Amino acid sequence: MASMEGLVPITRAFLSSYYDKYSFPPLSDDVSRLSSQIRSFANDFLLDSPPNHGESLLLHEVDSRPPHKIDENMWKNREHIEEILFLLERPHLPPALQQPATSDDAELAVAFGKIRDKFQNTLKTLETFQAKNSERVFSTVMTYMPQDFRGSLIRQQRERSERNKQAEVDALMNSGGSIHDRYALLWKQQMERRKQLAQLGSATGVYKTLVKYLVGVPQVLLDFIRQINDDDGPMEEQRHRYGPPLYNLTAMVLSIRLFILLAWGRFVAGKLDRQKFAVLEQAVDVYTTEFERFITFISEVFANSPFFISAEVAGALEGRNDDYKEISVPAGKSHEGTSKELTGIEEHPGHRLVRGK
pLDDT classification of 14: cutoffs 50, 70, 90: confident
Contact 38, 283 (CB under 8 A): yes
Contact 335, 217 (CB under 8 A): yes
Tell whether the model's pLDDT for residue 214 goes beyond 70.
no
- Residue 356: the pLDDT is 34
Contact 331, 213 (CB under 8 A): yes
152/216 Cα distance (integer angstroms): 13
In degrees, to the nearest 5, what angle opens at C-alpha 224 toward C-alphas 126 and 210?
A: 95
Domain ranges for the chain: 7-354
Strand residue runs (E) in the chain: 7-9, 217-218, 306-310, 328-329, 352-354
Which tops the pLDDT comparison, 351 or 164?
A: 164
Report the range of poorest mean pLDDT among 9-18, 58-67, 248-257.
9-18
pLDDT classification of 154: cutoffs 50, 70, 90: confident
How does pLDDT run across 20-69, given as a tens digit for each residue? 999 999 999 999 999 999 999 999 999 989 999 999 999 999 999 999 99
- Residue 183: the pLDDT is 94
- Residue 322: the pLDDT is 45
Q: Exposed, middle or buried: residue 101 (CB in 10 Å: 0-12, 13-18, 19+)?
A: exposed
Label the pairing between strands 352-354 and 306-310. Answer: parallel
Contact 349, 136 (CB under 8 A): yes
299/283 Cα distance (integer angstroms): 24
Main-chain phi, psi angles of 308, to 5 degrees: -130, 150
Using DSSP, how many helices (H) and how many strands (E) does the chain show? 13, 5
How does pLDDT run across 293-346, given as a tens digit for each residue? 999 999 998 888 776 656 566 566 655 444 434 333 333 333 333 222 223 344
Contact 222, 335 (CB under 8 A): yes
Q: Exposed, middle or buried: residue 347 (CB in 10 Å: 0-12, 13-18, 19+)?
A: buried
